[in-house]
Amino acid sequence: MMKHISLLGATGSIGEQTLEVVRLHPEAFQITAMSFGQNVEKGLKAINEFKPKLVAVKNDDVKKELEQAMTSKDISIVSGLEGLIEAAVYPDSDMTVNAVLGSIGLEPTLAAIEARKSIGIANKETLVTAGHIVMEKAKEHGVQLLPIDSEHSAILQSLQGHNLEDVSRLILTASGGSFRDRTKAELENVTIDDALNHPNWSMGAKITIDSATLMNKGLEVIEAHWLFDMPYEKIDVVLHKESIVHSLVEYHDKSVIAQLGSPDMKGPIQYALSYPERLELASAKRLNLWEAGSLHFEKVDMDRFHSLALAYEAGITGGSMPTVLNAANEAAVHHFLEGRIRFLEIEEFVEQALQKHQVIPFPDLQTIQEVDRATRRFVNERIITS
């Protein structure tokens, strides 16, 4: 049966790979609505190829630019957060894939859940900042969140045929990112280009930096806590530099089930789109274990990767703390990418923001948004005036 998809963030790294999966299976998937930010050139290409009925863009300026460039008048163009939400709940869509970057993805996710779309979730900030609200709403509306993050997809795959009650531990693997073999002292003067050079995965800029600090893994620990209803003491992280074992589930009998494959985001994307079925993925590279040779695993040094320790702390404290973690990190990474702060200062600003914040238990959506804004302001002011 044809699955109709609203794809949010179509011009991004995950968005483009989602389009690639759709391109490989024209009999199974169709894009009915899509959104992008401001990359009109890429967006227009995707529109011409996939012919969605609705397109949402970041703002009115982009909308005007797109309208001038488009020849077809059958496609509605909408803009802003309202437009993004319109795309997320598009009536003809069965599934909403959220591949936008950052906490702007939260409201569209909630709206899509209310509209009872099945949700493919790449936008991890959604679960980190408002996991309690998102999961409660999903439960209320009987909607399943299908993870697109490779680790969470691996866990979902390793859980098939089993009950969550029989799980004793989730083990997330981390590649260690661009600087996995450097000491903390060697990180003092690393450049933006060094940080953007990830050894295994090709991803968007922000998540590549998050991989280098291991904040990405920290966000994923919080994401796993919500997706699989698992307490933090039952979520571990192990360094695994080959990125072949994508994550593992330990059961009460100490048996461990893992999912393996060559690192390629199209695998988890397609699994979310076709779940619970599996389709062929012709473009994927077969995993020949004899070519991989040996696989390595290492305990994480929490001093060296201080961001991961901060994420665990924020997750365990709960309430509004994960929102502060995420917002401070987004702001700090932005300033790092703009060349305003050094690499190691990212974790310093995140820590300062967490320390300054008075935790609010069970924050509602409005409180989350206020905390998010206040945190960004705090980090921005410190960086601009320092």
Binding residues for NADPH: 11-14, 37, 39, 123, 125, 204
Return the residue matching tokens 């309690």.
Answer: 132
How many Cα atoms occupy the beta-carbon half-sphere of 317 within 13 Å? 20
List C-alpha distances in Å: 282 to 50, 235, 263, 269, 271.
20, 33, 15, 14, 14
Nearer to Mg ion, 109 or 153 (CB): 153
Q: Residue 207, interface with ligand NDP (CB under 6 A)? A: yes
Please choose, from the candidates 372, 361, 275, the residue with its C-alpha nearest in 3D space to the C-alpha of residue 319.
Answer: 361
Exactly one of 46, 106, 122, 379 binds ligand NDP (CB under 6 A); which one? Answer: 122
User: Three-class SS string for 260-329?
Assistant: ECCCCCHHHHHHHHHCCCCCCCCCCCCCCHHHHCCCCCEECCCCCCHHHHHHHHHHHHCCCHHHHHHHHH
Find which of Mg ion, ligand NDP, none residue 223 binds, CB within 5 to 8 Å per kind: none
Residues, the chain = 386
Question: How many residues in the shown chain lie near ligand NDP by CB under 6 A?
Answer: 28
Rounded CA-CA distance 177/328 in Å is 20
List the single partner that 250 binds among Mg ion, ligand NDP, none, CB under 5 to 8 Å by kind. none
Q: Using the rule CB under 6 A, is 99 a contact of ligand NDP? A: yes
Scan for tokens 């968007």, then name that residue: 204
User: Site for ligand NDP (CB under 6 A): which residue of 66, 101, 146, 281?
Assistant: 101
Shortest distance (Å) from residue 151 CB to Mg ion:
5
Interface ranges with Mg ion (CB under 5 A) = 149-151
195 binds ligand NDP (CB under 6 A): no
The CA distance from 357 to 354, in Å, is: 5
Main-chain phi, psi angles of 167, to 5 degrees:
-90, 135
Nearer to Mg ion, 151 or 347 (CB): 151
From the list Mg ion, ligand NDP, none, partner contacted by residue 66 (C-beta under 5 to 8 A by kind): none
Rounded to whole angstroms, the Cα distance separating 349 from 75 reads 44
Decide if residue 224 touches ligand NDP (CB under 6 A). Answer: no
15 binds, among ligand NDP, Mg ion, none (CB under 5 to 8 A by kind): ligand NDP
Binding-site residue set for 1-deoxy-D-xylulose 5-phosphate:
124, 150-151, 175, 198, 211, 216-217, 220
Give the residues lining the site for ligand NDP (CB under 6 A).
9-15, 35-39, 58, 84, 99-101, 104, 122-125, 149, 201, 203-204, 207, 265
